[in-house]
Chains A and B, each alone.
Chain A
Amino acid sequence: MSTESFTPEPTESIDLQRRSVLKHGGLAIAFLWLGGTGAASAMMSARRQPADTAAAMADGNPPFAPNAFIRIDSEGPVRLVMPSVEMGQGIYTGCSMLLAEELGVGLDQIKVEHSPPSDDLYGIPALGGQITGGSTSTRATWSVLREAGAVARSMLVSAAAVKWHVDPATCTVDRGVVHHAPSGRSATFNELADVAGRLPMPDKVQLTDPKDFKLIGKPIRRVDAADKIKGATQFGLDVRVPGMKVATVKACPTFAGKLASVDDKAARKLPGVVDVLRLDNAVAAVGEHFWAAKKGMEALVIEWDRGVNANLTTQQLQDAIADSARNGKGIVARDDGERPQGTLVQSEYSSPMLAHATMEPMNCTVHVTHDQCEIWTGTQVPMRAAQEAAKITGLPIEKIVLHNQYLGGGFGRRLETDWVEQAVALAKQVPYPLKVVWTREEDIGQDHMRPMYHDVISAVLDASGKPIWYGYRTSGGSVLARFAPGAMGKDGLDSDAVECVVETPYDIPKAHVEWIRHDMPPGFIVGWWRGVGPTHNLFVVESFIDELANHAKKDPLEFRRALLQKNPRALGVLNLAAEKIGWGGQPLPARVGRGIALGDPFGSHVCVIVEAEVTPQGEVRLRKVVAAIDVGIAVNTSSIEAQVQGGVLFGLSAALYSGLTIKNGAVEQSNFNNYRVLRINETPVVEVHRVVNTQAPGGMGEVGTAIAAPALANAIFAATGVRLYQLPVDRNLLVQSPDALKSVASAAAPERRETA
């Protein structure tokens, strides 16, 4: 941090009203990240829509299908169709709870199904389509799924009342059975399905009073766990289609490069190798099984035309983006007029490109025939994937049959459709069904990576060291501009790039925030990565708030508290986390520190405190993490804990270890040996504490990830006095003294001699 002094002058009065109007910016932005791009018809509904008839027909034509989410047959479990996709975040359980609560069934009486591609039936209105992302699923379905359950229940009760000639108000529902106590009659949902299916839709339905909830707000086991622990869950990679061959693929490692030539003579002679297929920028070896395909790939002699990025390095990318942040013309996201007088302090931060590295590598199975294209894959965007397949095959969209699968991790990677497009383009060349499986090396080398960022953050302080203005110039590529160009804001502003910095939880009256669009070189496609814009911005803002506290010689907790007197929900999570970790209690050992980070990403409020130890050699050991969360109404408290724990650790993993670097225009990392991620032996206790209230539900899946890195950086500062301006953590900066390394070197020396 650099410091500059100005003559202090009294601050002017604050326009608080305007601020409070904008206070919901973060939430609105999160909801509107794709707003305006999707079809106006993209809208899920609690009641039957025109598209429902065909969807129900394709789903076994059950006698009772009152909407896109509920199917009741004459026998068997109630089938619930999930609007969002399951990638670990627990949404199949959450959505089932919302439906089952109002429908009146137990979760042991249901079976969940993946939804088919349809923006009309499963589109999230704020995202403009059938998209699972932006931590929007619970927020978007909280009302509509309960209503959908209530509509179905109302019709089943009416069916019983019609059959029995009784007043529906005298009937009750319990675990899939309608009872009429006065006459002692009862009928199961299965028995009533046929009659219910012929009744008109009710206009208004009564939703359960929250005090009577049987499921919502409780810790409920996941509906997908029983299969997952037996290896019985089918992920995309597990799809097996009769007659199928397996391909593995290699695209030009240098981004934007092309396939120049490939000699496949040796490969084609190998046992089990079936075919070698070519695309503009890639080659695929096809085998009877993956191993044959992989051996075939290794036997290919491939020449690449490396193109414009042939000599590109990370350093060049970093220099260019830093120059943009310092000197580029920005698009103004917030401007409160002239910067006030006072002490000006400024810092620069940078964040690396990141891979998603989902445990299940990208894969897609496709069978293209003359009049149909059938696809099996795990995707966060079923409809977009089907639309891309229609473009590539030239088939009409209704001839694309996409079977979504359980996702072996998403993290934003499966919001893309590149691997589906590639698999369709390959499968189009062959008569048999083709399963395309990426190696881990391909998965990391051809990721649509989290963009790199460079930021200049500044503040004007009053005489007490309190910020009265902040400035932010952030430079990075835009995911939104490619993913949903229509959602770009005024003057071409990418709202995601400045989320959680245009508005902060703190009472800082004035700000100037700019985004400097810095497109990456051709072929470098940047993508959504868990926590999106907030993950990067909160690292910068919350690290800098810590710097300001240190500059003011204040305790980081007290410094934040003083700025949160008008924000009770933020103050609530801060105080809860501080209390639970025992902030300011027993003194900590040497080189152990605690770091606070606070934010309100995705419509929730969160505070994380990390306790870390830094060894004299600069290694960081996580000792403990305490998270306090205010998500408003909780659907599944067990899921909330799991998402905060997993989300925080995902963020800490990246901050500690992860970064993609570039040489010759290609990613240097290839697998988990050199793209390191967190392991169990590096995992601390992660406590999660919840502020209980009845506010509308906030987002959950990305909140922990977004707030993790600054808490770690602040803990490392507390432990060592070293401020980290760049991620991932550079251990060289944390070495206590050169002697500390010498002792390690001498200890290791005998071993080296033995092996020499």
Chain B
Amino acid sequence: MLSLSVNGQSYPVDVPDDMPLLWVLRDVIGLTGTKFGCGIAQCGACTVHLDGQAVRSCVLPVGAIGNRAITTVEAVGNTPAGQKIQQAWLDVDVVQCGYCQSGQIMSAAALLAHTPNPSDDDIDAAMSGNLCRCATYVRIRAAVKQAATGKIEILQTIGSAPEGAAS
């Protein structure tokens, strides 16, 4: 029986050591915010934090985790960087279908925690492992910058930040 520390809570899990963390989170613990996209660490939809580092949970065997702290998108808002990133994601209205965005947010939050003022190149390097088929990349870049600087990134067409429901 393994014990996993997920979002500050301890979960005993009776699973094979080679089972990827992704499926333990989703199908055993029941935290479905972390997504399955490829199973081979090519798309980043399954990104979680292991002691604050962004990792692809679809290829991470649970047996290799030990007592390191796992953070998922459900709790990343409790960290300062995660909170800033989620707020910027809302302000810039990044999401479309939203399926990849759990992973995007986890990668972006890890970037911001380690690099408080990322350049365009830093953003590209940290985020290039996360695919988005809706191609929300332009707004992802804007939102990471806004989270870092606090300065409003004005959308190109519309000249003002979106207003309304999702605040």
Note whether A and B form a binding pair. yes
Complex-state Cα separation, A120 to B130, whole angstroms: 41
The answer to whether B26 and A360 have CB atoms under 8 Å apart is: no
What residues of chain B lie closer than 8 Å to A229, measured between beta carbons?
86, 89-90, 94-95, 98, 101, 105
In the bound complex, residues from chain A placing their C-beta under 8 Å from that of B158 are 219, 637-638, 641
Does A583 make an interface contact (CB < 8 A)? no
Interface presence of B32 (CB below 8 A): yes
B1: CB under 8 A from chain A?
no
Q: Which residue of A lies closest to B28 (CB)?
A: A289
- The answer to whether A533 has its CB under 8 Å from any CB of chain B is no
Contact A673 B42 (CB under 8 A): yes
Q: B80: which A residues are within 8 A, CB to CB?
A: none
Docked-complex contact B90 and A226, CB < 8 angstroms: yes
In the complex, whether B156 has a CB less than 8 A from a CB of chain A is yes
Q: Are B130 and A645 in contact (CB under 8 A)?
A: no
| B133 touches A (CB below 8 Å) | yes
B133 touches A411 (CB 8 A): yes
A87 within 8 Å of B (CB atoms): yes
Closest Cβ of chain A to B61, distance in Å, is: 10
Q: Is B134 an interface residue (CB 8 A)?
A: yes
**Docked-complex contact B133 and A677, CB < 8 angstroms:** yes
Q: Which residue of the partner chain B has the closest CB to A673? A: B42
B124-167 at interface with A (beta carbon < 8 Å): 124-125, 127-128, 130-141, 155-158, 160-167
Q: Is the CB of A110 within 8 A of B165?
A: yes
Which among B35, B130, B140 has the greatest number of chain A C-beta atoms within 10 A?
B35
CB contacts under 8 Å to A, within B33-75, are 33-40, 42-43, 45, 72-74
* Per-position 1/0 for A634-672, Cβ under 8 A of B: 000110111001110110010000000000000000011
Write out, one digit per residue, whether chain A residues 221-251 have a CB within 8 A of any chain B CB (1) or not (0).
1111110111111110110100000100000
Tell me if A357 counts as interface (CB < 8 A to partner B).
yes
Whether B95 pairs with A672 at a CB distance below 8 angstroms is no
B45 contact from A215, A232, A359, A673, Cβ within 8 A = A359
Complex interface: chain B residues within 8 A of A641 (CB): 155-158
Q: Give chain B residues whose Cβ lies under 8 Å from the Cβ of A110.
A: 165
Knowing A231-B72, A638-B158, say if A359 contacts B97 (CB, 8 Å). Answer: yes
Is the C-beta of B4 less than 8 angstroms from some C-beta in chain A? no
Contacts of A246 in B (CB 8 A): 27
A93 and B100 CA atoms in complex are apart in Å by: 19
Interface residues of A in 325-369 (CB under 8 A from B): 357-361
* Interfacial chain A residues near B30, Cβ < 8 Å: 240
A223 to B93, CA, bound (A): 10
Residues 677-688 of A, flagged 1 when their CB comes within 8 A of B and 0 if not, give: 111110101111
- Candidates B23, B74, B138; contact of A291 at CB < 8 Å: B23
CB-CB under 8 A from A411, the residues of chain B are: 133
Asked if A359 and B95 sit within 8 Å, CB to CB, the answer is: no
The 8 Å CB contact of B135, one of A222, A235, A439, A653, is: A653
B130 touches A680 (CB 8 A): yes
**B115 contacts the other chain (Cβ, under 8 Å)?**
no
Q: Is A406 part of the contact surface with B, judged by Cβ < 8 Å?
A: yes
> Which of these, B35, B77, B164, contacts A230 with CB under 8 Å?
B77
Asked if B155 and A219 make an inter-chain contact with CB atoms under 8 angstroms apart, the answer reads yes
Which chain B positions have C-beta within 8 A of A437?
36
Interface code A351-393, partner B: CB below 8 Å = 1, 0 otherwise? 0000001111100000000000000000000000000000000
Q: A246-B27, A680-B141 are in contact. Are A221 and B162 (CB under 8 A)?
A: yes
A646 touches B89 (CB 8 A): no
Q: Which residue of B lies closest to A356 (CB)?
A: B133
Bound form: Cα–Cα A108–B139 in Å: 23
Whose C-beta in chain A lies nearest to the C-beta of B34? A231
Given contacts A225-B89, A646-B135, A673-B40, contact A680 B101 (CB under 8 A): no
The reply to whether B166 and A222 contact each other, CB–CB distance below 8 Å, is: yes
In the assembled complex, the Cα of A347 lies from the Cα of B28 at a distance in Å of 57
Within 8 Å CB of B162, what residues of A?
A: 219-222, 638
A408 to B35, Cβ gap below 8 A? Answer: yes
Inter-chain contact B39/A237, CB cutoff 8 Å: no
| Given A409-B134, A679-B128, A681-B128: A231 in contact with B100 (beta carbons within 8 A) | no
Contact check, B96 vs A406: say whether CB atoms are below 8 A apart. no
CB-CB under 8 A from A489, the residues of chain B are none
B38 touches A237 (CB 8 A): no
- For residue A218, CB closer than 8 A to chain B, the reply is yes
| B15, B130, B158 pick with most chain A CB within 10 angstroms | B158
The yes or no answer to A107 lying at the interface (CB within 8 A) is yes
Q: Mark B16-27, 1 if CB is under 8 A from A, else 0.
A: 100110010011
Please report the C-alpha to C-alpha distance between residue A677 and residue B38 in the assembled complex, in whole angstroms: 13
Q: Which of chain B's residues have a CB closer than 8 A to the CB of A646?
A: 96, 134-136
Kindly state the separation between the CA atoms of A222 and B166 in the bound complex, as whole angstroms.
6
Asked whether, in the complex, the Cβ of A649 is within 8 Å of the Cβ of B135, the reply is yes
| Residues A361 and B165 in contact in the complex (CB < 8 Å), given A88-B96, A649-B135, A680-B130 | no
Instruction: State how many angstroms separate the Cβ of A496 from the closest Cβ of chain B.
Output: 22
- Contact pattern, A 684-719, Cβ under 8 Å of B = 1, otherwise 0: 011111100000000000000000000000000000
A107 touches B96 (CB 8 A): no
A interface residues, Cβ below 8 angstroms from B? 86-90, 93, 96, 106-108, 110, 215, 218-226, 228-235, 237-238, 240, 246, 271-272, 288-291, 357-361, 406-411, 437, 439-440, 637-638, 640-642, 645-647, 649-650, 653, 671-673, 677-681, 683, 685-690
- What are 11 pairs between A and B in contact, CB < 8 Å? A110-B165, A221-B163, A226-B167, A230-B77, A237-B32, A289-B15, A359-B99, A408-B99, A440-B39, A647-B135, A650-B133
Closest CB pairs A-B (n = 6): A231-B33, A408-B99, A88-B97, A228-B98, A88-B96, A649-B135
